Each structure stands twice: as structure tokens, then as C-alpha cells.
Homo-oligomer: A and B are copies of this chain.
Amino acid sequence: MLEKFENLHGLKRTDRCGTLSAKDIGREVTVMGFVDSERNLGGLLFVNLRDISGIVQLFFDTANEELVKKASTVRSEFVLAARGVVCARGEGAVNKNMPTGEIEINVSELRILNKAKTPPFYIVENSDVKEELRLKYRYLDLRRPDMQRKLILRHKVAKIARDFFDENGFLEIETPMLNKSTPEGARDYLVPSRVKNGCFYALPQSPQLYKQLLMLSGMDRYFQIARCFRDEDLRADRQPEFTQIDIEMSFVEQDDVMNVNEKFIARVFKEILGVEVKTPFLRMPYSEAMSRYGSDKPDTRFGMELTDVSDLVKDCGFKVFSDAVANGGSVRLINAKNLADKISRKNIDALGEFAKTYKAKGLAWVKHTAEGIQSPIAKFFSEDEMNKILERANCEENDVLLFVADKNKVVFDTLGALRCEVAKRYDLIDENKFNLLWVTDFPLLEYSEEEGRYVAMHHPFTHPADEDLDKLDTEPQNVRAKAYDIILNGVELGGGSIRIYNSDLQEKMFEVLGLTKEEAESKFGFLVEAFKYGAPPHGGMAYGFDRFVMLLTKSASIRDVIAFPKVQNASELMTNAPDVVDAKQLEELGIELVKKDEKEEN
């Protein structure tokens, strides 16, 4: 026998809980929501009812015995509908910390729409419950107001994006999810075909090819908030499926793409955070970003820029330094200003360990204290040499210089990370700043030792700088790309490029990348063919939408801004996906599982 339960019949919600205030006093309202808490104060019953807008207090008049009896059965997370009159609270009962704290609802009709088991954790703001438990019961975790605010904000950013790009003549066009696997790029998620056994679709890593084809088709300005997939081992802020704000424009140069995107970003900051950001943003060439910040994602909220002292130390007595320069590397330092009293010897050792994770062999240091210079490497330098270093580093009393000597890549990687780490540890970052800048003029190619060839730094469709076209044959390493990244507080929000639109240049590019004509044909044949029918100049941009929202909400994890995220091993803890499937399903797809022992043999 089914237990009778109450329904909504004949009752309409008139208001959201959190929207009621003194202006509603005297109105009869009907609210619906979840029980946030219930109290019995000497026989007086109060229930805090919660919906997505906030919380309102329900009061049950003791005169109505039946009602009070019913209300007294109510527990946390029960689902209620309540009709009653909005009343002012007694003077002592006003709660200034609550938007609805001046009023309560004197309930005349109560319906218990659903009961609830005791949840495995409290539904409160800023829960410190283990994330595994939160994700297993994500539907309860998302009842927490801070999580709801994040998803509301995410919705708003997406809405602003759609409004903005629509107003600027972009069409949102959906591109396919069941694609062809392309061997360049990250690992694809594959989808076996039932109709063509032995063949597979790939889920898109990005809509790159399709959006370029849309430009070829004359769609002029394309935009999409698109789901993308990469089967990579997950790092802290990576998800196997993620969302991209994806943009492409025809008949544009780099500045045109950057201009429209600056306006978009400024609009988001204005509407979401109430922050006015100045346009145009700073534009910094890659080479400058590297030499000043050791990073193509410079965090400019603090100083501590890199100083190159290679020329000063190339003949010094400290072999680590002189060898690094002799081997084509460099010696650079950062100056941790006014921190000598805070950075102990032990702290420096810890920073040294940090440096080693970036492949530096060690961290040399100089402290400028009231007593003079302290440094284990001081003995290798003449006073003149040391003074020149101190001068160039603008080293004053209470400063600490941290040196790395190695191949340039290691020097940049290490000092770039170290300056952020020092800033974090010694609280140099103004968390209220939103520093936005473009990094431009990336190298087109990087040499892959592993593959013994040049690979595209961005992707093989990125246009070389016009001035560098002639260098493609002679000095490919020095060819710059029409590529640009947008950086917010040291994090890459997005990036893009002007694309190759000339099919001869595209074939040249494949040649530079070491592809034979046959390989290029089999990998990108239909695309090269497409470009022969008249391609307009075009370029675009893509934002990591999850990360964008994470930064705007100052969330600790990307998982906090995704309704149902996956964890490190790419599984979802709530549904337990992925999971085993029926043998019949595999049979239809013409695939079978490799048996364990078979695998071990291989």
C-alpha cells in the first residue's frame, strides 16, 4: 500500500523565500522550499525555509493545534509548501544578518510535500566536508548556497557571452560531436560505430576545423559555447570534458580579434564583478614576457621581475654560473625585495627544493642584511663583480637575490614559477587586482627532441607573421606566429590566432612540420581541398570557460564551478560512470575487451 503523500494541488507559489521583506508585511504569500532548520523555543515553533533565492522564517501560531502538530514533525531538508501572512518580527527577534530578517510568515496552511532522511553532511555555506563525499551526494552538495551562487554566476557569464557576441554579429552555430579522429593534438575519446564496425568517431578536442570551415562557407562570424573532450591524465584543474567559448571571424587581422574580445572581457567584468577594466589591455610580446617574468602567462600583480646577469658572471670563478653561460644558457635572478628578515636559511632551502621540481640543479642566493652580504657563493666573486650584480638587481638592504643558472628553458621555467611561489608564500599578491594582458608574437614552432622535428606551438593552422614568411625555410625557429593569449592574473584565460588561409602556405607549413605530401593528404586532405575553393582571411579565439568562471568566483577548484564534475581518474562519483556494459552492446559494436592475461603477454 502506497503511503499517502501531499501534493501541490490548488496551491501556487507566489514568492521566492529570499525575496520577502518588510515591504511585504500584511500580504498573504505561498512559499515552497527545503527546511534549512527548525527550532522549538519553549513551545513556539519556527522553521527556516530555503529555496534558491534565500531563507525565510515560518512561524506557527500555537492556537492552531493541528497545524502545530503537523509542523512539529518537520525535519531538516523536508520539502514544504506554506501559505500565510507576512508579519513583522518582534523587536528582539529581528535578525540583521538575514535579508529577510525583519519578517516571518505566520503560516495558515502547511503541506509536507516530501520527507527527508538525515543528509550525510550539513547543508551549509563553505562546507569543509571531504570532497569525495560531496561529489557522491552532489545533489545535496549543490543545495549549499555558495555552490548555487557559483552556478548562477556561471549561467550569467554564459548569457553575457551570448548577448555580447550576438550583438556583434556572431552566429552561434553548433558543430558536430561525433567527429573524425585526427592524430595531431591530445588523445581523443573514441566512440565505436555500430553501423560501420571497426570504425570510430572521436569526440571533439575543440571545434577548430569546423569553425574554420564555417569561415570558408562565408558564415563571417561564428561563436559557440562548446563542450570539448581530451583523454589526458587529469591534473588539478583539468576535466575530461570541459567547456570552451569558441569564436571565429572572417576578414580580420589580429587586432580586430583582440579588440572585440577585450570588449567582451570588459563587459563580463563590469556586469559580473562591477569592475571597470581599462581597454586596450597591455600587449606584451612573448620574448618580453619570458625575459621579464620567465613565463608566457605573466602574473603582473606584483614585481620581482627577472634580471639577466649572464654578461656579468660569464667569466666569474663560480663554475656553475660561467659554464651555464658558456653552454649557451644564462644566469638570471629575482630580487625578493625587503624579505631578508622573513626568508630564513631554512626557507631558502625549501625554495631550493621547489626550484628542483622545475629541473633547476639548485638555487644560489645572496642576502643583503644590515651586516652586509651573506651568500655561500660570495667567495667566488670579486667585490666589483658582486657590486655590479647588486646594482643591476637594484639590491638594497633586506633584499634577497635568488639565482638560477642553466639552459634558458630551465632558467625561465624555474624563476617564472619561483617568483609566483615567493609572492604567494610572502603575501605579495593583491587579491583584489584583476590584471589582464595579451601575450603576442609567440614562436610559430618549437623543436621536439622526442620527434626530431619542429612541431606547431599552437596548431598547424596558425599563420606565420608576414615579416617572417621568408624565414620558414631558412630559420624556422625564428618565425613568429600571429598567435595571442589572454592572461588574467598569471592564468591563461584563452588564446587564439590568425589562421593560414592560403592553401600553398598551408602545404608549406605541413612540409616544415615534416609531413610528407601523402601524410598531409591522409590527415588533412579534405581541409586542404576546402581551402582551394576560396578561403577568406580569418582568425579566432577560444576561452576555457570553466577556468574563466573559476577565476571570477575565486574558487579553489574547477570542480566547484561544474555541476557534475569528474575526479582525477575521470570517473563520476555519484553515478559511478564509467561502468561495465552488457556483452550485447559490445557485440553490436563489433568490439571485445582485451583479456587481462592477453594484455600482460603483450
A220 and B51 within 8 A (CB) = yes
Beta-carbon contact of B526 and A576 below 8 Å: yes
Instruction: Tell me if B142 and A219 are in contact (CB < 8 A).
Output: yes
In this complex, the interface size class of chain A, counting residues with CB under 8 Å from chain B, is: 35 or more
CB A217 to nearest CB in B, in angstroms, measures 4
Does A287 lie at the interface of the complex (its beta carbon under 8 Å from any beta carbon of B)? no
Q: Is the CB of A508 closer than 8 A to any CB of chain B?
A: yes
A214 touches B116 (CB 8 A): no
Q: Determine the residue in chain B with the shortest Cβ distance to A170.
A: B155
Name the distance in Å between A221's Cβ and chain B's nearest Cβ.
Answer: 8
Contact with B along A77-121 (1 / 0, CB 8 A): 111010000000000000000000000000000000111110100
Copies of this chain, complex-wide, total 2
Contact, CB under 8 Å: A577 / B52: no
A173 proximity list for chain B (CB < 8 A): 151, 154-155, 563
A226–chain B nearest beta-carbon distance, Å: 9
Closest to A535 in B: B114
The answer to whether A162 has its CB under 8 Å from any CB of chain B is: yes
**Closest B residue by C-beta to A209:** B575
Q: Which of A61-69, A451-459, A499-507 contacts B (4 or more CB under 8 A)?
A: A499-507
- Min CB distance A236 to B, Å, is 16
Cβ B534 vs Cβ A79 within 8 A: yes
Interface residue? A193 (CB, 8 A): yes
A314 within 8 A of partner (CB): no
A191 contacts partner chain B, Cβ-Cβ < 8 Å: yes
For residue A349, CB closer than 8 A to chain B, the reply is: no
Complex CA gap A251/B33 in Å reads 8
Using a CB-CB cutoff of 8 Å, which residues 203-246 of chain A contact chain B?
203, 209-210, 213-214, 216-220, 227, 229, 231, 240-241, 243
Contacts of A188 in B (CB 8 A): 581, 585
Check A563 against B214 for contact (C-beta < 8 Å). Answer: yes
CB distance from A78 to the nearest CB of B (A): 6
Q: B116 near A3 (CB under 8 angstroms)?
A: no
Is A428 on the interface with B (CB-CB < 8 A)?
A: no
- A162-B162, A178-B570 known; 12 new pairs, CB 8 Å cut-off, are A8-B251, A33-B218, A114-B501, A114-B537, A119-B533, A155-B172, A176-B572, A187-B585, A196-B569, A201-B578, A590-B594, A590-B599
